[in-house]
Amino acid sequence: MTLTPEQNAEIELARAEQTPTLRATVPALEALLYQATPLLDHGFVRVIDYMGDDAAVVQAARVSYGRGTKRVQEDRGLIKYLMRHRHSTPFEMCEIKYHVKLPIFVARQWIRHRTANVNEYSARYSILDREFYIPAPEQLAAQSLSNRQGRGDVLQGQEAAQVLDLLREDADRCYRNYAWMLNEDENGEAVDEERQGLARELARMNLTLNTYTQWYWKIDLHNLLHFLSLRADAHAQYEIRVYAEAMLETVKAWVPLTYEAFADYRLGGAHLSAAMLALIRRRLAGETVDQASSGLSKREWQELSAILDGQV
C-alpha cells in the first residue's frame, strides 16, 4: 500500500501542528499519531485521536482526584486486579479513534462489533477508488474440511493461478461497469455528454466485496480489548487479524500496563468451564479420566486438550 503524496502531506501537516493541552498525553502514542500502518495490499490503520491513559483507568477505579499513584507497581497491581476480575467500567473511561482502510468484506465482518461509533466513506456521495484486495498466494486456501468458517490447505499450481486471475478480472470488470454507469470523472464531470449516468447510490451495488472502503472507528478501551481478544486470535480470519494485530501495537503504546494485563489474562489466558475445572481437579488427585468419563463432549475435550497442549 502506498499513500498518495497528498495523503502524506496531510499527515505531515497534522503531525506538525502543536496544540497545548492540560489533558493527559502518552508520548509513545503521540509518536504514532496520524501515521498509517500499511496492511494487506492497499489497506492501513492509523490513530487519529485518543482520550485517557493507564492512570485514567486507575483514577476511575478509585474515583479519586489524583491520577494514579506515584508508584507504577501499585497501578499495575490494580489494573491486573480489574482485568482478572473483569471489572469493565474503569476501562470504558479511555477512548481511541482510528482511521481504517479495508476491503468491504472485512468491514462487514468488523461491523458486527456494535460497540463503536462508525462513520464510513459514502459511495452515495463519492466515487470509490479503483482498489481491490487480492490475496497473497500463501493466503489462497481451500475450505477447511473440519471448520465451516476456516481455511484448509493452500491452493497450488494452475488452480491457484486461475483463482487469482478470476478475482482480478471480476473486480476490474465490475469497476469498469461501475465507472461506465456513473458516467463521471474524478471531478464529477460527465464523461459522455450524451448520457445522464446512473445515481451513485445505485451504481455502487455493482462493486465486488474486495473493493476497499474507509471509515473512522471510535471505541472505548474495554470494548476495544473485547474486539482484539476475538480478532487478534489465531483462529480469526487472516484479513481482519492483521488489522487487530496492528491495533494491538497501538494499545501497547497507549496503555502499557493495561496491555500487559490484557496479554496475561485474556490473550495468553484461557476460560475453563466448571466441568473442565472439575476434570483437572480429578486428574490432579491422581484419578485416570478419559473423555467418556469426563462429562465433557468430544469438542470440549479437544478444546481442553488444546489448552493444556494435549495433557488430558
**Catalytic (active-site) positions:** 231
Cβ atoms of 258 and 54 closer than 8 Å: yes
By three-state DSSP, how is residue 221 classified? Answer: helix
Distance CA 284, CA 295 (A): 16
Helix 221-231 to helix 238-254 angle (10° resolution) is: 140
- Residues with Cβ within 8 Å of 168's Cβ and at least 6 positions away in sequence, in order, are 132, 134
Strand order in the sheet with 117-120: 37-39, 43-51, 95-103, 212-220, 117-120
Distance CA 9, CA 26 (A): 24
Largest CA distance in the chain: 85
Residue 96: how many CB atoms within 10 A of its CB? 23
- Residues with Cβ within 8 Å of 251's Cβ and at least 6 positions away in sequence, in order, are 221, 224, 225, 228, 258, 259, 262
**What is the gyration radius of the CA atoms in the chain, in angstroms?**
24
Cβ atoms of 33 and 234 closer than 8 Å: no
Distance CA 236, CA 230 (A): 7
